[in-house]
Amino acid sequence: MTDKNDSEAVRSAKLVKDLKIITAISLGKDRNKELAKVLDTDKSFTSKKVKELEEKGLISKIGAGKETRYRLNPFHVMQFLQSTVVIMSKKEKERVAKKDDELEEKNEEGNKNEI
């Protein structure tokens, strides 16, 4: 079960970084140096993250060298958000957590019966 939780944690951390970059660019922080500050990391790591977002079509690069700026592709960002980010109410979240707990209990009971 920890492998699944670990991979979910990694996926969540990656998503948070992607969303931070998207949000920063939308607020006018459109240079690599500014994005590195937002992510609290070095410019090299930020460049890699920005390149990934470019490859996904979420952002595009304008200019070159120190004059490079980034801008959002609103259409692709909306598609990304709609397909990736799920917003749940507190009640909904509790209901899903309860179902997950019930499934986990059943799996544990099944594993005990096999032994």
Q: Minimal CA–CA distance to 54: which of 32, 84, 38, 28?
A: 32
Amino acid identity at 68 = T
Chain segment 61-86, per-residue pLDDT in tens: 999 988 999 999 999 998 888 887 77
My answer on whether 115 and 66 are in the same domain is no
Same-domain pairing of 97 and 71: no
3-state secondary structure of 9: helix
Per the structure, the count of domains in the chain is 2
pLDDT in tens, 97-113: 888 888 888 777 776 66
The residue range of the domain holding 78 is 2-84
pTM of the prediction?
Answer: 0.69
